Amino acid sequence: MPTEKLDQLKALFAAMDRALIAYSGGIDSTLVAKIAFDVLGDRALAITANSPSLLPDDLEDARIQAAEIGISHEVVQTHEMDNPNYTSNPVNRCYFCKSELHDTLKPLVLERGYPYVVDGVNADDLSDYRPGIQAAKERGARSPLAEVGVSKLEVRQISKLIGLPWWDKPAQPCLSSRFPYGEEITVAKLQRVGQAERYLRSFGLGNLRVRSTGETARIELPAEQIKEFVLTTDLPTLVATLQSYGFMYVTLDLEGFRSGKLNQVLEGVGVSR
């Protein structure tokens, strides 16, 4: 039951004494930050990593949510875009991203005396292909949600239970996840994807992705929203806007939105998910 797991999470943090939270502003790490603050108060610190793969809107959301929770919040700059192992976009790209994150956090942990860095990995994440989890584990990070066995659904249930207004916030992984493995990631490409998604969000859309393949933008929306979107959207203006951001072609994925869709290619190359 969510209430039982909430009690377990509180007990886990009570045993920590102090904790630094790797806080993206997503629903998972926000729940972790909220519980950590409720238990530890000023002995909990939330750190957000800023880089070109994070939408400025999402960074602002992280700031607003941290302020509402009351937890101390700081922003650090990470430099994964300087690492060709990351920008070449291999199937284990996330390993190099999380390595950069935790290597950046390590001096803060040592300097300020935090015994733990915790993240927002939940129990469902452990069954997906998430090479970043391994990088975090290698650097001693803990994942309270996964340790207690909290699923993604339970993250939302607990968040609603304790009154977090963003309990139903759509997942928003980093912008690098919009590119097929093997396609080089550049700051310019990240920026145009970010601009495209920000533009589409202005239509009131929640779960959406703009997948970028070469010069093509492929819009993913929930399948049940596709018909209304086509009928009510000024498509020529939409196409012209995305082309102004640097895309040549604009398409709509008729299968609809599915989180982690680009990972389906891994099944054909023998990568365990």
For the chain, list the domains and their CATH numbers: 2-161 (3.40.50.620), 175-266 (3.30.300)
The token pair at 240 is: 């012209």
Per-residue pLDDT for 71 more than 90? yes
Q: What is the percentage of the chain residues whose pLDDT exceeds 70?
A: 95
The count of other CB atoms within 10 Å of the CB of residue 64 is 13
pLDDT grade for 262, boundaries at 50, 70 and 90:
low
pLDDT at 266 (0 to 100)? 63
Least confident of 46-50, 120-124, 143-147, 254-258: 254-258
**What values do phi and psi take at 65, rounded to 5?**
-65, -40
The token pair at 80 is: 């994964």
65-70 long-range CB contacts below 8 Å, 24 or more apart? 65/25, 65/30, 65/33, 65/166, 66/23, 66/25, 66/33, 68/165, 69/30, 69/33, 69/34, 69/37, 70/37
The tens digit of pLDDT for each residue in 78-103 reads: 999 999 999 999 999 999 999 999 99
Specify the length of the chain in residues. 273
Adjacent-strand bridge partners of 219 = 210, 252
Q: What is the percentage of the chain residues whose pLDDT exceeds 90?
A: 85
Per-residue pLDDT for 25 more than 80? yes
Give mean pLDDT, residues 135-154: 95
Residue 153, Ramachandran bin (φ over 0: left; ψ between -120 and 50: alpha; else beta): alpha
pLDDT at 273 (0 to 100)? 46
d(CA 195, CA 259): 20
The tens digit of pLDDT for each residue in 161-210 reads: 999 999 999 888 899 999 999 999 999 999 999 999 999 999 988 789 99
pLDDT grade for 127, boundaries at 50, 70 and 90:
confident
Give mean pLDDT, residues 117-121: 96
Residue 214, Ramachandran bin (φ over 0: left; ψ between -120 and 50: alpha; else beta): left
Per-residue pLDDT for 66 more than 60? yes
Give mean pLDDT, residues 15-23: 95
Per-residue pLDDT for 132 more than 90? yes
d(CA 10, CA 8): 5
Give mean pLDDT, residues 151-161: 96
Return the DSSP state at 112: H
Adjacent-strand bridge partners of 75 = 48
Check: CB of residue 59 under 8 Å from CB of residue 25. yes
Check: CB of residue 263 under 8 Å from CB of residue 129. yes
Q: What is the pTM of this model?
A: 0.91
Per-residue pLDDT for 147 more than 50? yes
The count of other CB atoms within 10 Å of the CB of residue 161 is 13
Return the DSSP state at 142: B
pLDDT grade for 270, boundaries at 50, 70 and 90:
low
Check: CB of residue 40 under 8 Å from CB of residue 65. no
Per-residue pLDDT for 271 more than 60? no
d(CA 66, CA 208): 24
